[in-house]
């Protein structure tokens, strides 16, 4: 059934994307009058920073397999440019509420929440990871306090969001993101403050395989003067990401990597188990983990990553 959904999605989105690509020149010329056709992406440049870089994946065990591809991202100031975004993502106020940051006004400058994401292109959106940067005022300085990871799997159309410390953090693996990875282990994450460049590093720590997978995004800021039109800049970018995902999944299957069924068929309580395992990780970090494997009764000081599971908007993004 999942295979049929996948094939149907590929055929449908290919037809839609081809049609909208043919119309793209007219959309660009008539964008002001036909903004409703631009998939909520009007590209006015307000509160928007463009990045271009490389995503690199490496699997170390049970076989060595690595690849990289070029990618383009938009860093969106949610307080200034929420109209650029569909309802598929958090608003500035929602992001601050989830992260527990304040967004303080300092010297007439708002301490903003920003979103790093791949915008939709010609009717399709594909974001394995979108990242919210939530700032706070500390000692008269705007400080990146928390990040929110928004992870979407392919092709199951599910999403999990959670808060993490951008300096370095470890969270229990809470989503089935690959048919060649089980639910055991943790995600180790680190994200730099976006400036002229940015980076995001995620590794998977497995109880049997060790640190067997790593994904890295490194990107540089692109001057808006070099981008004649944002819709052209991101043309087919989500599609390229999807092609790389499916192609390398096929290569792993071809190399006889064991196929892992989605845990909803074998262990319906996998989300609750992930949340429980994450709580234990935080107890360890707080120095409260007991030999019995349980947190103390009074665990109010133990901060979890606040997992939130939802269905991703169609088409899967």
Domain assignment present for 316: no
CA 275 to chain centre: 19
CA dihedral 281, 309, 146, 284 (to 10 degrees): -10
- The answer, yes or no, to whether residue 298 has pLDDT greater than 60, is no
State the pLDDT at residue 32.
Answer: 45
Average pLDDT over residues 98-107: 70
Determine how many CB atoms are found less than 10 A away from the CB of residue 312: 19
- Evaluate the CA torsion angle 254, 258, 264, 265 in order and state its sign: positive
Q: Is the pLDDT of residue 106 over 70?
A: no
- Strand locations in the chain, DSSP E? 48-59, 65-77, 105-106, 109-110, 113-117, 129-138, 141-152, 158-164, 169-172, 186-191, 197-206, 210-222, 308-311
Whether omega for the bond prior to residue 256 falls within 30 degrees of 0, making it cis, is: no
Residue 296 lies in a domain: no
Q: Decide: 273 and 175 in contact? Cβ < 8 Å.
A: no
The verdict on residue 53 lying in a domain is yes
Q: How far apart are CA 43 and CA 85, in angstroms?
A: 10
- Residue 27 confidence (pLDDT): 61
Residue 247 Cα distances to 11, 43, 211, 217, 251, angstroms = 16, 30, 23, 19, 6
Residue pair 208/189 in contact by the 8 Å Cβ criterion: no
Give the number of domains in the chain: 1
- pLDDT tens, residue by residue, 190-214: 999 999 999 999 999 999 999 999 9
Torsion of CA 173, 176, 181, 182, to 10 degrees: 70
**Containing domain of residue 178, as a range?**
2-290+301-311
pLDDT tens figures, 7-52: 666 676 667 667 666 666 666 555 544 444 344 444 445 688 999 9
Peptide bond into 315 cis (omega under 30): yes
Q: How confident is the model at residue 172 (pLDDT cuts 50, 70, 90)?
A: very high
What is the predicted pLDDT for the residue at 122? 82
Residues 71, 219: contact at Cβ < 8 Å? yes
Say how far apart CA 232 and CA 227 lie, in whole Å: 8
Strand 169-172 and strand 48-59: pairing?
A: unpaired
Res 285 pLDDT > 70: no
Query: Which of helix, strand or coil describes residue 177?
Result: coil
Indicate the pLDDT class of residue 189, thresholds 50, 70 and 90. Answer: very high
Specify if 317 maps to a domain. no
Q: What is the pLDDT at residue 202?
A: 97
Average pLDDT, the chain: 81
Between residues 110 and 138, the one the model is more confident about: 138
For 9, the 3-state DSSP assignment is helix
Residue 314 phi/psi, 5-degree rounding, is -75, 140
Q: Is residue 45 in some structural domain?
A: yes
Residue 230 burial class via C-beta count within 10 angstroms: exposed 0-12, middle 13-18, buried 19 and up: buried
């Amino acid at each position: 059934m999942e295979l049929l959904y996948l094939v149907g999605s590929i055929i449908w989105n290919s037809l839609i994307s081809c049609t909208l690509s043919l119309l793209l020149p007219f959309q660009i010329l008539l964008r002001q009058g036909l903004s409703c056709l631009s998939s909520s992406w009007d590209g006015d440049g307000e509160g928007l920073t463009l990045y271009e870089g490389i995503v690199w994946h490496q699997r170390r065990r049970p076989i060595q397999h690595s690849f990289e591809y070029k990618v383009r991202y938009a860093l969106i100031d949610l307080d200034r440019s929420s109209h650029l975004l569909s309802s598929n993502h958090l608003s500035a106020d929602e992001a601050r509420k989830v992260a527990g940051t304040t967004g303080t006004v300092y010297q007439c400058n708002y301490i903003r929440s920003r979103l790093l994401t791949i915008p939709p292109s010609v009717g399709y959106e594909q974001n394995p990871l979108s990242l919210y940067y939530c700032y706070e005022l500390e000692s008269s300085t705007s400080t990146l306090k928390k990040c929110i990871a928004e992870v979407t799997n392919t092709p199951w159309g599910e999403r999990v969001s959670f808060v993490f410390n951008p300096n370095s953090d470890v969270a229990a693996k809470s989503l089935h993101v690959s048919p060649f990875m089980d639910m055991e282990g943790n995600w180790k994450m680190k994200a730099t403050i976006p400036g002229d460049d940015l980076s995001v590093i995620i590794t998977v720590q497995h109880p049997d395989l060790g640190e067997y997978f790593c994904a890295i995004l490194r990107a540089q800021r692109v001057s808006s003067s070099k981008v004649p039109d944002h819709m052209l800049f991101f043309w087919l970018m989500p599609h390229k990401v999807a092609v790389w995902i499916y192609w390398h999944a096929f290569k792993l299957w071809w190399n006889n990597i064991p196929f892992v069924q989605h845990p909803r068929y074998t262990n319906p309580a996998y989300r609750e188990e992930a949340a429980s395992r994450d709580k234990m990780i935080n107890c360890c970090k707080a120095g409260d983990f007991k030999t019995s494997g349980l947190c103390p009764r009074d665990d109010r000081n133990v901060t979890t990553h606040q997992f939130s599971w939802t269905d991703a908007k169609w088409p899967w993004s």
